[in-house]
Structure formats: structure tokens, C-alpha cells
Amino acid sequence: MEALTIYPKNEEQSEAIKSVLKALKIPFSKSHYNPEYIKKIQESEKHQEGAVILNCEEDISNYFKKSDSDVQD
């Protein structure tokens, strides 16, 4: 199912929308994040696909050991 983002202009509109959703038994959640901020986060998540994550010195060491063994003379 799709998700909708609604931008009420004031508290009155916000309360009216919540009342309608409750009456129709449509689940909803509130977000206090700026939509532009969320868009930037989603965009950065796309860039992480295929990224290598090294959490500690052991991971770093193992990663470079693997890289060295992949290199052929």
C-alpha cells in the first residue's frame, strides 16, 4: 500500500485530518522531521548500496588483507 505525506497549514487542519483518519480507522503516524531533510537522508541511503562498512580495527585489517590477496603479480 502507498504512503501519503500531508502538510496541514495549521493546527485546525491537522486535527481535522486526524479525526477523519481515526473515523475511517486508517492507521497513521506523525513525523516532526522536515520533508527536505528526509529526502536528503533517503538520497544518501541510495549511495550506501554496495558500500563497505568497517566497524573496528580488526575489520580494517581483514579487509586490506583480503584486498592484498586479490591482487595478482
The per-residue pLDDT for 21 is 95
User: What span, in angstroms and rounded, lies between the C-alpha atoms of 33 and 30?
Assistant: 9
The per-residue pLDDT for 69 is 64
Instruction: Single out the residue of 4, 8, 28, 24 nearest to residue 16, CA to CA.
Output: 8
pTM of structure: 0.44
The per-residue pLDDT for 71 is 56
The per-residue pLDDT for 26 is 94
Distances in Å between the alpha carbon of 39 and those of 36, 43, 55, 64? 5, 6, 26, 34
pLDDT one-digit tens code per residue, 9-57: 999 999 999 999 999 999 998 877 777 888 888 888 877 777 777 888 8
Q: Where are the domains of the chain?
A: 1-31
